[in-house]
Chains A and B, each alone.
Chain A
Amino acid sequence: MSRAFAAMAARALLAALPAAALAAPDGAGIMDRARSHRPQACCIYQELTLIQSDPAGESGVRRIRWFERHEPDGSSRLLLVFVAPTDVRGAAVLVTRDASGAARGEVHLPALGRPLGLAARTAGAMPLAGSDFRLADLLGEEPGGYTYAREADAEIDRSIHYVIRATPLGDARSRTGGGLRRHYVRKGDHFLVRTDFLDPRGLLARRQSFRDPRQVEPGIWQADMVLMEDFGERHRTLLKVERRVFSPDYAPAEIFSRQWLAGGRHLLIGGDAPFGP
C-alpha cells in the first residue's frame, strides 16, 4: 500500500516539474553556468607568484601584478606587470580585447625602451614569461571561439564533474595555440576545476588545474592557485594568488595605456597603495 502510494507520488512530482529542469544540461549551458559562477567584478587586482619547476626541482620564481578591467560594452583589458626579479622589473604585457572579442597585445620592456606590438594571430599562443601558461590560458576562453559538447561525467576527488569537450572554431586554435580541450566542471557549484589540453591525436598534452577555490561572493568561487602541467616537457608552473582585490581603484582605466607604461609609472606601483607616488 505504502509502496504504491510512493510510486504515485513520484509520478505526480515528475509531471509537475518543468521540462527544462529535467533535460540534462548541454555543454554550452554548463560552460555558461561555469562562467556565471566566476567573479563578475569589473576590476580585479591580484598579486601573483609564478613558480616554475621541472623534474630537477624549482627552476624560477617571478612576481607579477595583475590588473584586469571589464567595461560595460563587453571589452576588457589585462595588464601584467613583472616586479621581480629585479632584472625584469617593469616588464609588462598589456592585452586588450574589444567587444567583438578581438584581442591586441603589447609587450613593454623597460630595457628596450619602447613597446612592441604582438601579432594578433599568435599573441594568445605566446608563453607567459617562459612559463607553461600561454596568454590565452590567462585570458579565459572566448565563448564564441569554441563549440562545446558534453561527455560522460567523471569523478574527481570523490565529486562528480561535468566533462565538456571544447573544439576550437575558425582561427581560435592558432590564436590561442591550443586545440581540443576538455573541461571538468564540478557539479553543484559549477566551479571549473580542470582543463585538459589535448594534442591533435586526442592525447593529453597540458593540464590546467584550479586549486584552493576561495568563495569571493556567495556562490562565486575563484582559485587561489592555478597549476599548469606540460606533460610533453615535464614542466609545471604554479600561479599562486597572494592577494586579490576587487576594486576599480586598483585597476583604474588610465593604467592600461601605452603612455602610462612608456612613462614608467607602472614601475612605481607597489604595496597597499598601488598608485602611490
Chain B
Amino acid sequence: MLRKLVLACVERRYVVVLCLLAVTVLAASGVPKVRIDTGFDRLILEDSADRLAHQRVAREFGSDNRTVVYVRDAALWTPAKLAVLERLHRALATLPMVERIDDLYTRRSLRSVDGTVAAGPLLSGVPADVEAAESARRNALADPLALRNLISADGNAVALTVSLRERADAQADRAAYDAIEQALAPARGAFAEVFQVGPPRIGFEFERGLVHDLKVLMPVSAALLFLAVLAIARSLFAALVPLATAGLSLLWTLGMLGHAGIPLGILGAMLPPLVVAVGVAASLPLMKGYFEGLGGSAGGDRAAAIRFMAARLGTPAVVTAAAAAAGFAANAFTGIALVRDFALAATFAILANGVITLLLVPVLLAFAGPQRVERAQPGGGAGPMAGIALRALGQGRHRIVFYLLALAAALVAAFAYQVPWLHVTNDPLAFLRADRGLVQDASRIQRDMAGVKVFHITLESADGPAFQDPPNLQKLVDIQAFVARQGIFDRSLSLADELSLVNRELNDGRPEAHRVPATRKLVAQSLLFFQRRDLEPYVSRDFQRANIVVRHDIRDSTTLNHHVEELRQVVRHIAGPGITSAVTGENLMINAAADRLPGDQVRVVSFLLAAIFLVMSLMFTSFKGGLVALVPGVVPVALMFVVMALAGIPLNAGTAMVAAIAIGIATGGAIGLFLRYNSLCRRTSDYDEAVRGTVREEAGSVAAASLVLALGFGVLLLSGFTIVAQFGALAACAVLFSMIVNLLLTPLVMSRIRLVGLYEILAMQVPREVVDNSPLFQGMSSYQVRKAILISDLREVAAGTRLVEQGTMGASMYLVVSGELEVVRRDDGSERRLALLRPGDVLGEIGFIRATLRTADVRALGPVSVLRFDRDKLAKDLRFFPGIVARLNFNISCILGRRLADLVESSDVAQAARPAD
C-alpha cells in the first residue's frame, strides 16, 4: 500500500506539491498566533485539589505571588541613599499590579523607649541627617520581625517584598516584570546591587531562555545533522532533504499550536532539534532505498530507483514512526499542562514529519534526485556497528544471551531499588542552570534574609474569633517552633509573632515578656496598636482564621514535599479538634505536581508497555512475540534510570518524558528488526543465519538513525534550561542504549522466536484449491493454512526451472501453492512425463523422512510457488507454533502412510500378478 502511495505521489507530483503547499500556507497562518506561556500555572496539576484552598487563602491573606526587590549598598543608611530607596518604595507602591508592599516603610513596629511606647514605621520619609538614618537602622535591626526578613543582619541589604494581584492572564507576569524593572531603573545607579526575584522574573527568564534556545538549538541541530548526513551519505541532496522535511514539519507544528491555542512552554525549545533529528531519521531509510535502487539500475535511472525505494519501504518505516509518536503521545496523559502540551506538539510533529517525508521525499527525488551512487549510502552496508554486533553474536551465542538477560534483569532490579531515592523536582528555579543570574540572586536573598518562596499554614476555627484566645495563639507558636525544628525553612511569621513583640514592648522590652499575651482581653487590647494592614497577612477580620507565612528556598520537590507532609501532620495534631488546618501555596502546588511524576511515569510506561505487548502479540500472532518485543524497550529505560540515579539527575517535567520516548524509539527499532528477521526466516531454515542476516542488513540503518537521534537530543545540552539539557542528555543516552540493545540483545532474543505477522496472514492470497485439496492442510482452517504457509519456506520458481533434479540427493518435501509442475523421468536420453502437479499437490515426501536419491525431475511449467518443508526446520518450528506444526506433521504422516500403503498395495498387486513358481 505504501509502495502504491509513493508511486502515486511521484506520478502526481504537482498535485502533491500543491497539497503540501496548501497545508503549509494554512499552517503558516497559525504561526503568528503561537503564544509563549511560561507561567507557573502550567506547572501545577490541573486537577489539583489545593487550587481552591489556595485561592481562598490568597484572597483572604494576600497573594503569594511575591517579588522580592533586593537592595544592597555599603552606604545604604545615608539620607541620600535612603531618599532613593523611598522613591523606589513609592514607585513600586503605585504600580497598578501591586497589591501590597512589605518593607521598612510599611513595617510598623512598637518600641519601648524610656518608659514610653513609640509606634510607627521603621522608616518614614527621608531621615534629616546621618544620625537619624543610623537611628532608623538600629531600630530596624532591633525589630526581630524585620531582621532577616526585610533587612539583612549586617544592615546593608534591605528587601522590598512586592505582592502582586492575582494574574489576569499569562502576560501579566511579563507586564509586572517590566513595570518593576522600570521602577528599579533609577535606583540602579545609586546602589551597589538592585534586583528583583519572583515569579515575574522567573517567567521573564524562562521566556528569554526559550527564545535563546530556539535561536541557538534550531540552527545548531540543523547544521550538525546536515554534516552528519553529509558524512554518512556523501550526498548534499541526502543532507538537504531532511532539513526541508523538518522545516515543513516544524512549520506545520507551530501552525497547529497557533490554531489550536496550545501555548509554547519552556519545553518548546526541544521541538526544533527533535523535529530535525526525527526528520533525518525518517528520511534515511528512503534515501538508503533510493541509493540502493540507483546502484542496481543502469544509467542512474531515477524512476527505477524510486520504484526500488518504494518496494523496500514497508511496514517497518510506518511502525517505527508510529512507535516513536506513541512514546511522545503517552506523555500527554500527565496532569501537568507543560508536559501535556509538549507531548501533543511533539507527537504532531513526528506524525506530520512522517506524512511529509512520505509525500515529499519521493517527489523531491523525482525532481532532483541524484543520479550517481556515492561511495557510502545512508545506513547502507554492514558497517562497523554490524561488524561489532556480528562478532558479539558469533561468540558463544547462548552464553551471551544468558549473560545479557541476566544483566538486563540486574539493571531492572537496580532501577527498582533506586526508585525510592530518585530525586524528583518540579521547582521552576531548578529548571535553570545554577550559574544563571536569577538562581544566584535568589540564593543571595536567601543567604541575607530568607527565601523568596512562600507558603501558608492556615488554621480555621469552627466557632467565633478563636485567634484572640491565647491558647489558640500558642498553637501558632507551637507550629512555628516545629517549623524551626525542621531546620529546612528559613522563617515563619504569624499573628503570634506580632503579639509577642507588642507584649514585650508593653512590658518595657523585657525579654521574658516576649510571648503571647496571657489573657484574651490583653490580646484584644494589644491589637489596638496595629493597623489592619499589619495583621492582614496573619489573621482574618473576624479572627476565626489564622495564617502562618513560611519563607523558604527549597528547590528539590522531594525534600519540600516530604517536609510539608510532615508539617501537615504536626499542624493537624497541634490544631486539635475544632480547628481545621491547611498548608497551601502556589509553590507547594507546583512542587506537589512532582509527587505525581513517578506515579505518572509508572502509569505512562506501564500503559505503553501494555500497549506494545498487545499490539505486538496481535501483530506477530504470538504472546511470546509480545513479551520479547518488550525487552528492547525495558532495558534502555532501566539503564536510563540507573544513569539518573548515579548522576543525580532529577525526575522532572522534562526527564519524566524520556522513558516513554525511549520505549517508543527502541521498540520502533526492534520492530524493524523483527520484521526483517521474519522475512529472512521465510527464506532459510537456519534461524541463526537469519539473525545474522538481519543484523548485517539493518545494523547500519539502526546505528545511523540512532546516532542521528542521539545527536539531535544531544544538541539540547546547549539549552539554558537544566530541564531541557537533562532531557537531551538522558534521551541521547536512552537512544544509544536502545541502539546497543537492538544490535546485541534484540537479535539474541529474536533468534529464540519465530514470528508471523498478522498483516501477512491477512494479506496472503491462497488459492482455494490449496486449502480444499491439499492433504497437507487437511483439518486446518484458512487462517491456519496461511500461517502454516508463512512459517514455511516459500519459494518462487520460474517457468522451466527444475525444482527437483533426478539423480540428486534431496531431503525436502514440497507443496504446490500456485502454478503447475510436471514430473519427468529421464531414461537413456528420453523423457517421460509421469505426472502433472497442481496447487495442493505434494511431492518429495520420501525425502522428508530420509535424504534420498531423486528418481525424476520436477519442472515448473510456468511461474510457480511452492512451500518447502524439511524435518529440521519443522522440528524447530514445533517449539514456536506447536498447534500448527503438530497438525502439519500429522498430515505429513498421513501422506507418508498413504504412500506406504500405496507402495505395499502396488507391491502386492505386482506379486499377485507374478506367476507362481
Taking Cβ atoms with an 8 Å cutoff, the residues of A that contact B are 52, 54, 56, 59-60, 82, 85, 87-88, 91, 107, 109-112, 116-122, 125-127, 129-132, 173-174, 177, 179, 199-201, 203, 232-233, 235
What are 8 residue pairs bridging A and B, where the CB atoms are less than 8 Å apart in the complex?
Answer: A60-B532, A85-B524, A88-B528, A111-B519, A119-B117, A125-B119, A130-B532, A177-B120
**Known contacts A87-B525, A118-B116; A109 and B506 CB within 8 A of each other:** yes
Taking Cβ atoms with an 8 Å cutoff, the residues of B that contact A are 59, 86-87, 90, 93-94, 113, 115-120, 124-125, 468, 506, 517, 519-533, 535, 541
A125 touches B117 (CB 8 A): no
Return B264 CB to nearest CB of chain A, in Å: 36
Separation of A85 and B523 alpha carbons in the complex (Å): 13
Q: Find the A residue at minimum CB distance from B101.
A: A232
Separation of A119 and B115 alpha carbons in the complex (Å): 9
B120 touches A126 (CB 8 A): yes
A54 touches B532 (CB 8 A): yes
Q: Which of A56, A112, A177, A233 contacts B541 (CB 8 A)?
A: A56
Separation of A60 and B530 alpha carbons in the complex (Å): 13
Name the residue among B87, B523, B531 with the largest chain A CB count within 10 angstroms. B531
Residues of B within 8 A of A110 (CB): 521, 525
**Known contacts A60-B541, A200-B90; A233 and B116 CB within 8 A of each other:** no
A232 touches B532 (CB 8 A): no
Return A235 CB to nearest CB of chain B, in Å: 6
Separation of A59 and B530 alpha carbons in the complex (Å): 14
Separation of A90 and B517 alpha carbons in the complex (Å): 18
Tell me the total A-B contact number using a CB cutoff of 8 A: 100
**Known contacts A130-B528, A232-B93, A233-B533; A177 and B522 CB within 8 A of each other:** no
A179 touches B116 (CB 8 A): no
Residues of A within 8 A of B113 (CB): 119
A200 touches B541 (CB 8 A): no
A112 touches B522 (CB 8 A): yes
Return A122 CB to nearest CB of chain B, in Å: 4
Residues of B within 8 A of A52 (CB): 532
Q: Find the B residue at minimum CB distance from A113.
A: B522
Given contacts A52-B532, A122-B120, 12 further A-B contacts (CB under 8 A): A59-B532, A82-B528, A87-B468, A109-B506, A109-B526, A109-B528, A110-B521, A112-B525, A130-B527, A130-B532, A201-B90, A232-B93
A122 touches B119 (CB 8 A): yes
**Known contacts A109-B506, A126-B120; A233 and B522 CB within 8 A of each other:** no
Separation of A158 and B584 alpha carbons in the complex (Å): 51
Residues of A within 8 A of B525 (CB): 87-88, 91, 109-112
Separation of A126 and B529 alpha carbons in the complex (Å): 8
B115 touches A117 (CB 8 A): yes
Residues of B within 8 A of A120 (CB): 116
A122 touches B90 (CB 8 A): no
Q: Find the A residue at minimum CB distance from B111.
A: A119
B521 touches A107 (CB 8 A): no
A179 touches B125 (CB 8 A): yes
Residues of A within 8 A of B118 (CB): 118-119, 121-122
Residues of A within 8 A of B530 (CB): 127, 130
Separation of A35 and B523 alpha carbons in the complex (Å): 39
B116 touches A127 (CB 8 A): no
Name the residue among A52, A111, A132, A177 with the largest chain B CB count within 10 angstroms. A111
The 6 closest A-B pairs by CB, nearest first: A87-B524, A119-B118, A111-B522, A117-B116, A111-B521, A59-B541
Q: Find the A residue at minimum CB distance from B503.
A: A112
B532 touches A116 (CB 8 A): no
Separation of A87 and B526 alpha carbons in the complex (Å): 10
B524 touches A127 (CB 8 A): no
B86 touches A200 (CB 8 A): yes
Residues of B within 8 A of A85 (CB): 524
Residues of B within 8 A of A91 (CB): 525, 528
**Known contacts A109-B506, A117-B117, A130-B531; A88 and B524 CB within 8 A of each other:** yes
Separation of A199 and B94 alpha carbons in the complex (Å): 11
Residues of A within 8 A of B531 (CB): 127, 130-132
A173 touches B519 (CB 8 A): no
Return B182 CB to nearest CB of chain A, in Å: 15
Separation of A55 and B524 alpha carbons in the complex (Å): 23
Name the residue among A54, A87, A173, A174 with the largest chain B CB count within 10 angstroms. A87
A174 touches B124 (CB 8 A): yes
Separation of A125 and B531 alpha carbons in the complex (Å): 11
Separation of A120 and B118 alpha carbons in the complex (Å): 8
Separation of A174 and B118 alpha carbons in the complex (Å): 12
Residues of B within 8 A of A107 (CB): 117, 528
